Chain A
Amino acid sequence: DTAVSQTPKYLVTQMGNDKSIKCEQNLGHDTMYWYKQDSKKFLKIMFSYNNKELIINETVPNRFSPKSPDKAHLNLHINSLELGDSAVYFCASSQSNRRAFFGQGTRLTVV
């Protein structure tokens, strides 16, 4: 069973569209994250949720809105997509500040 799963794995969309990426973890962890890996492979944290509450928001544009319906899910919604949003987005989870487990990533391409 996949510990941290993201859907979709690939997403190609036009500029200006709104899209969502879903993430689910079955590890019983209390903390979930979204990371962005850009074209230069630079991996940076975007958001962190602990028990459904936002604890880290790293100067991400308002067009990005994470939503955590429960502790096992952290979805990422992106409005008005721009070319610069093209990247690989990784979801991760951990039990508090212990080891983080990562999903396989979602490759978003904005055309």
Chain B
Amino acid sequence: AQSVTQLDSQVPVFEEAPVELRCNYSSSVSVYLFWYVQYPNQGLQLLLKYLSGSTLVKGINGFEAEFNKSQTSFHLRKPSVHISDTAEYFCAVSVPPAGFQKLVFGTGTRLLVSP
């Protein structure tokens, strides 16, 4: 079975500072990896996904993530955050060919951006 670990439950950061949200996964087979964002009182939105190919994946709102197979990680980064990036971020994994049909989520990391 697959699992996802997001070690940081909360990450406080100042506006315009860089941020990295950590995600590690466990799987005995190849995986697809995803980052979702949940703004207050809203559903989850897909930020980016890794299915295959280039290990550096660019998503919406200036976010990017890098798949590192040897470290089983898929950390999310943004070089300069905005107040509006304050939200809950979820890392998720699935096993091909399930794709989005069976996502296993981490417990989330709350990003708090202050002025």
Binding site for B on A (CB under 8 A): 4, 31, 33, 35, 40-45, 48, 55-56, 90, 92, 94, 96-105
Contacts and interface: CB of A to CB of B under 8 A. Distances in A.
Contacts of A100: 46, 100-101, 103
A97 B108 CA distance: 23
Contacts of A41: 88, 107-108
A43 B100 contact: no
B98 interface: yes
Contact of B102 (A48, A99, A103): A48
Interface size class of B (residues with CB under 8 A): 20 to 34
For the complex of A and B, list the 4 residue pairs with the smallest distance between their C-beta atoms, beginning with the closest: A97-B99, A102-B43, A43-B105, A100-B100
Contact of B101 (A94, A101, A102, A104): A94
A56 B43 CA distance: 21
B31 to A, nearest CB: 13
A98 B45 contact: no
B105 A99 contact: no
Contacts of B104: 44-45
